């Protein structure tokens, strides 16, 4: 089998199902053939939503639960978060975790194309389950309106499988899935933000928050890029309540430059803001049980008829069940699909 195309964290069109096989698919062919039509066809709305919102990865890798050379300000904020969530109990006794929940996704607004509509799109409902062993081994199975998306990591490679692209491996080192950072796994949240830089405090609603920022360096981003798609930046910001110590908002932004032979470069900018709510105690650990994400996806570039094409999306989620120390869960449960193993 030939080398798999890298895992794309950008939208996927609906039109390649019958025309491209998994082996022949590449970022170059997809952007060349389908980019101009992505925001026009309503039937691609659900795939657009699932490509962006289903299983995005964190921009940062977690090297250690006790990182060295962290700033004292960030460490103080994280220690407050750890004390509030009591996540030390997970480190001491929880080897694995299971989460089941429900989601609703909708394309809320589209602007910038003559044929685009500013009216909200259809709301799609679904459910998901997530299994995890430490931050590096995880598996998510999500089904929305009959479309099933899976993603996982065995600690060495992260991958995603969709009905329209099959299974694809991610470039670069293994990273946590973003859904775990949305209040579900306080141990991973603490490990991810320990080396962060504190920036200016902000109010989020009625909460005054400490703000921690993580940014990947250019060398790491270059490993995740290829000859067609260059990731220029990928940042993540966490907002921790001064009052409760809990993570109440998670933002990340990614800017990617796309260029294929014979065409001018285009830029994709994806900004996701997640508002995290309803923390409840499960076996002594505080776990967020609901939240919502808003996404602003923009494309722009030289030679475009409109200055920017903007699509806004929304997701709400509710957690129904959380279980620690799942019986029978082992490292064998996180083995990647055969297509990924053979690359």
Total number of domains constituting the chain: 1
Q: Looking at the domain assignment, is residue 20 inside a domain? A: no
Average pLDDT score, the chain: 82
Q: Looking at the domain assignment, is residue 21 inside a domain? A: no
Domain that holds residue 294: 27-341
Q: Looking at the domain assignment, is residue 57 inside a domain? A: yes
Helical pair 186-193 and 72-85, crossing angle rounded to 10 deg: 180
Condensed to tens digits (0 to 9), the pLDDT of residues 42-76 reads: 456 788 889 889 899 988 887 545 544 455 788 89
| Residues in CB range of 226: below 8 A, 6 or more apart | 6, 27, 171
Cα–Cα distance measured from residue 47 to residue 42, given in angstroms and rounded to the nearest whole number: 10
Bridge partners of 159, per DSSP, are 152, 169
**Among 58, 30, 101, 116, which residue's Cα sits nearest to residue 312?**
116
- Collapsed DSSP state (helix, strand, coil) of residue 194: coil
To the question of pTM greater than 0.85 for the whole model, the response is no
- Distance, first Cα to last Cα, the chain: 7
Cα–Cα distance measured from residue 284 to residue 294, given in angstroms and rounded to the nearest whole number: 30
Residue 8: what pLDDT?
43
| Residues in CB range of 217: below 8 A, 6 or more apart | none
Q: Looking at the domain assignment, is residue 13 inside a domain? A: no
Q: Looking at the domain assignment, is residue 14 inside a domain? A: no
Condensed to tens digits (0 to 9), the pLDDT of residues 293-330 reads: 999 999 888 766 557 788 899 999 999 999 999 999 99
Q: Looking at the domain assignment, is residue 236 inside a domain? A: yes
Range in 69-83, 114-128, 205-219 the model is least confident about: 114-128
Residue 20: what pLDDT?
36
Q: Looking at the domain assignment, is residue 12 inside a domain? A: no
Q: Looking at the domain assignment, is residue 2 inside a domain? A: no
Residue 92: its H or E element:
helix 88-93
Buried/exposed code over 70-104 (b: 16+ C-beta within 10 A; e: otherwise): eeeebbebbebbbebbebeebeeebebbbbebebe
Report yes or no: 299 and 287 within 8 Å, Cβ to Cβ: no
- Average pLDDT over every residue of 248-275: 90
Report yes or no: 77 and 240 within 8 Å, Cβ to Cβ: yes
Report yes or no: 124 and 145 within 8 Å, Cβ to Cβ: yes
């Amino acid at each position: 089998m030939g080398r798999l195309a890298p895992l794309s964290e950008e939208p996927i069109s609906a039109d390649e199902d019958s025309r491209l096989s998994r082996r022949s698919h590449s970022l170059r062919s997809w952007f060349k053939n389908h980019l101009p039509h992505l925001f026009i066809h309503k039937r691609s709305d659900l795939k657009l939503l699932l490509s962006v919102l289903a299983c995005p990865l964190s921009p940062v890798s977690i090297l250690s639960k006790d990182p060295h050379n962290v700033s004292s300000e960030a460490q103080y904020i994280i220690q407050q978060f750890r004390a509030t969530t009591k996540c030390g109990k997970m480190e001491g006794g929880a080897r694995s975790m299971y989460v089941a929940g429900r989601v609703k996704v909708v394309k809320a607004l589209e602007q910038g194309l003559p044929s685009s509509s500013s009216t909200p799109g259809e709301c799609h409902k679904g459910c998901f389950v997530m299994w995890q062993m430490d931050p590096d081994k995880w598996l998510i199975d999500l089904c929305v309106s009959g479309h099933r998306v899976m993603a996982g990591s065995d600690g060495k490679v992260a991958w995603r499988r969709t009905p329209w692209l099959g299974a694809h491996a991610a470039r670069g080192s293994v990273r946590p899935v973003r859904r775990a950072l949305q209040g579900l796994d306080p141990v991973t949240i603490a490990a991810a933000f320990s080396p962060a830089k504190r920036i200016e405090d902000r109010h989020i609603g009625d909460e005054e928050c400490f703000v921690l920022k993580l940014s990947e360096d250019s060398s790491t981003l270059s490993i995740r890029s290829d000859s067609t798609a260059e990731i220029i930046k990928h940042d993540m910001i966490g907002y921790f309540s001064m009052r409760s110590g809990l993570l109440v908002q998670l933002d990340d932004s990614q800017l990617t430059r796309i260029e294929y032979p014979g065409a001018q470069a285009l830029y994709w900018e994806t900004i996701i803001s997640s508002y995290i709510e309803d923390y409840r105690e499960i076996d002594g650990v505080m776990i967020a049980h609901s939240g919502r994400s808003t996404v602003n996806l923009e494309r722009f570039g030289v030679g475009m008829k409109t200055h920017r094409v903007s699509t806004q999306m929304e997701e709400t989620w509710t957690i129904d069940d959380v279980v620690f120390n799942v019986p029978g869960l082992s490292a064998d449960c996180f083995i990647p699909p055969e297509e990924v193993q053979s690359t």
